C-alpha cells in the first residue's frame, strides 16, 4: 500500500502539468513554427547567393518565403500573426529560435555564404597564420528593445597573437520586419599593448553579409579584442512593440591574419642590433683569451726544451 503523502505529490505534479501555458489553436503551434522558420532561413540563405541588384535579391526572398509557406500549408497572414504572438512572448520566442539555430547546420548556412567572403574562412581553425579565433555564440536573435537589442563580446589575446596582426569580423544578417527602418550597428575594437585603441563600425540596413576590418598597427601587439552587435529602433517607438522587428545573426567569425614576409619589426631592430654587437664583443673576447692561452702554452714548451738541452751538456 502506498504511503498517503505520495498521493498529494502526484496531484501537485498533475496540476502543474495542466497549468503549463499552451499556444492558442488559432496560431501555428511551436513544433510547426520551428519547422517553418528553419525552412525560411535556409530559403533566405539561398536567396543571398544572388550577387546582383538588391531588388532582385529581395524578390527572390519573397519567392522563397512563398514557397516555404506553401510547403507547410499556411497563409502569409497566419504566419505573420503567429510570429507576432511568439514575438510578444520573448522568453518563449528565444527558446523557439534557439532550437531553430541548433538545427541550422553549417552546411545549410553555407548555402547563403557559398559566394561570399565568409565561406572562404569556413574551414579555418583557431591556429595558423590565418585563423578563426571566434569562441562565442555563432548565431543569435536580436529585437530592438532592451535587453534583447545588444550582444557584447570580449576576447583576451594570448601568446599566439603577434605584432602586425590584423582582424576581420564576418557575419550574416537576416531581417524579418513588418514595418519600420532597419538600423543595426556592428563594432570591432582592438586595444594594443601600448594602450592605443583602434575601432571600426558598420551600419547594417539590409540583409546579407557584413564585414568589419581592422588593419595592422605597426610594431604593436594586440592585447584585447571587444565589440558589439546592436539593433536600434530605427524610426519606431516603444508603443509599436507589437510590430515585428527581428534580426537573426549567424555565421559569425573573427579572422586573425598574421603579417607575412616580415622578419624583424622596425621597433625591434635597435635592440637586436645591440644584441648582435654584444655577441661580437663576446666572441672577440673569447678569441683574445684563447690567443693568450696558446701563447702561454708555446712559451712553456720552449722553456721545457731549453732545460732539457742544458741537462744533456
Question: Quick one: CA torsion of 200, 236, 242, 86, rounded to 10 degrees?
Answer: -20
Q: Which of 7-16, 83-92, 191-200, 234-243 shows the lowest per-residue confidence on average (mean pLDDT)?
A: 7-16
The confidence score (pLDDT) of residue 309 equals 43
Three cell numbers, residue 59: 524578390
In a domain, 50, yes or no: yes
Contacts of 284 (CB under 8 A, 6+ apart): none
- 133 and 103 within one domain: no
- 35 and 133 within one domain: no
Task: Report, as an integer, the average pLDDT of 65-69.
Answer: 93
- 128 and 87 within one domain: no
- 85 and 186 within one domain: no
- 91 and 188 within one domain: no
pLDDT band at 277 (very low <50, low <70, confident <90, very high): low
The pTM score is: 0.69
Beta bridge partners of 255: 132, 168
- 134 and 102 within one domain: no
In a domain, 299, yes or no: no
Q: Show which of 52, 79, 113 is a domain's final residue.
A: 113
- 104 and 30 within one domain: yes
**Arithmetic mean of pLDDT over the chain:** 78
- 237 and 202 within one domain: yes
Highest-confidence range of 7-16, 137-146, 213-222, 303-312, by mean pLDDT? 213-222
- 150 and 69 within one domain: no
Q: Show which of 113, 146, 170 is a domain's final residue.
A: 113
**Residue 132 pLDDT exceeds 90:** yes
Q: Show which of 91, 113, 135 is a domain's final residue.
A: 113
In a domain, 156, yes or no: yes
Task: Give the number of domains in the chain.
Answer: 2
- 127 and 109 within one domain: no
* 106 or 28: which leads in pLDDT: 28
**Residue 8 pLDDT exceeds 80:** no
The confidence score (pLDDT) of residue 4 equals 53
Highest-confidence range of 57-66, 256-265, 278-287, by mean pLDDT? 57-66
Task: Report, as an integer, the average pLDDT of 243-251.
Answer: 86
SS (H, E, C) the chain: CCCCCHHHHHHHHHHHHHCCCCCCCCCCCHHHHHHHHHHHHHHHHHHCCCCCCHHHHHHHHHHHHHHHHHHHCCCHHHHHHHHHHHHCCHHHHHHHHHHHHHHCCHHHHHHHHCCCHHHHCCCCCCCCCEEECCCCCCCEEECCCCCCCEEEEEEECCCCCCCCCEEEEEEEEEEEECCCCCCEEEEEEEEECCCCEEEEEEEECCCEEEEEEECCCCCCCEEEEEEEEEECCCCCCHHHCCCCEEEEEEEEEEEEECCCCCCCCHHHHHHHHHHHHHHHHHHHHHHHHHHHHHHHHHHHHHHHHHHHHHHHC
Task: Report, as an integer, the average pLDDT of 287-296.
Answer: 55
**Residue 67 pLDDT exceeds 60:** yes
Q: Which of 8-22, 32-46, 250-264 shows the lowest per-residue confidence on average (mean pLDDT)?
A: 8-22
The CATH number of whichever domain residue 138 belongs to comes to 2.60.120
Task: Report, as an integer, the average pLDDT of 179-192.
Answer: 93
Residue 59's domain spans which residues? 21-113
In a domain, 196, yes or no: yes
- 248 and 220 within one domain: yes
- 95 and 74 within one domain: yes
The confidence score (pLDDT) of residue 313 equals 43
d(CA 92, CA 24): 14
Amino acid at each position: 500500500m502506498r504511503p498517503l503523502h505520495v498521493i498529494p505529490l502526484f496531484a501537485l505534479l498533475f496540476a502543474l502539468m495542466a497549468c503549463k501555458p499552451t499556444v492558442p489553436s488559432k496560431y501555428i503551434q511551436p513544433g510547426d513554427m520551428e519547422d517553418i522558420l528553419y525552412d525560411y532561413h535556409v530559403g533566405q540563405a539561398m536567396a543571398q547567393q544572388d550577387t546582383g541588384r538588391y531588388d532582385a535579391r529581395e524578390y527572390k526572398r519573397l519567392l522563397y518565403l512563398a514557397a516555404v509557406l506553401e510547403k507547410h500549408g499556411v497563409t502569409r497572414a497566419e504566419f505573420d500573426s503567429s510570429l507576432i504572438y511568439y514575438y510578444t512572448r520573448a522568453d518563449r520566442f528565444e527558446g523557439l529560435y534557439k532550437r531553430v539555430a541548433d538545427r541550422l547546420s553549417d552546411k545549410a548556412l553555407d548555402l547563403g555564404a557559398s559566394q561570399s567572403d565568409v565561406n572562404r574562412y569556413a574551414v579555418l581553425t583557431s591556429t595558423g597564420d590565418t585563423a578563426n579565433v571566434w569562441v562565442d555564440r555563432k548565431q543569435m536573435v536580436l529585437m530592438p528593445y532592451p535587453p534583447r537589442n545588444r550582444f557584447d563580446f570580449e576576447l583576451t589575446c594570448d601568446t599566439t597573437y603577434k605584432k602586425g596582426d590584423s582582424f576581420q569580423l564576418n557575419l550574416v544578417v537576416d531581417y524579418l520586419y513588418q514595418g519600420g527602418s532597419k538600423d543595426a550597428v556592428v563594432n570591432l575594437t582592438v586595444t594594443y599593448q601600448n594602450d592605443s585603441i583602434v575601432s571600426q563600425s558598420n551600419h547594417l540596413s539590409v540583409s546579407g553579409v557584413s564585414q568589419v576590418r581592422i588593419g595592422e598597427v605597426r610594431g604593436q601587439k594586440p592585447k584585447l579584442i571587444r565589440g558589439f552587435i546592436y539593433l536600434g529602433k530605427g524610426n519606431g517607438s516603444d508603443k509599436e512593440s507589437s510590430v515585428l522587428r527581428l534580426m537573426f545573426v549567424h555565421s559569425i567569425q573573427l579572422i586573425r591574419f598574421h603579417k607575412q614576409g616580415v622578419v624583424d619589426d622596425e621597433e625591434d631592430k635597435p635592440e637586436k642590433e645591440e644584441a648582435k654587437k654584444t655577441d661580437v664583443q663576446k666572441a672577440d673576447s673569447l678569441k683574445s683569451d684563447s690567443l693568450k692561452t696558446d701563447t702561454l702554452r708555446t712559451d712553456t714548451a720552449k722553456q721545457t726544451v731549453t732545460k732539457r738541452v742544458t741537462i744533456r751538456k
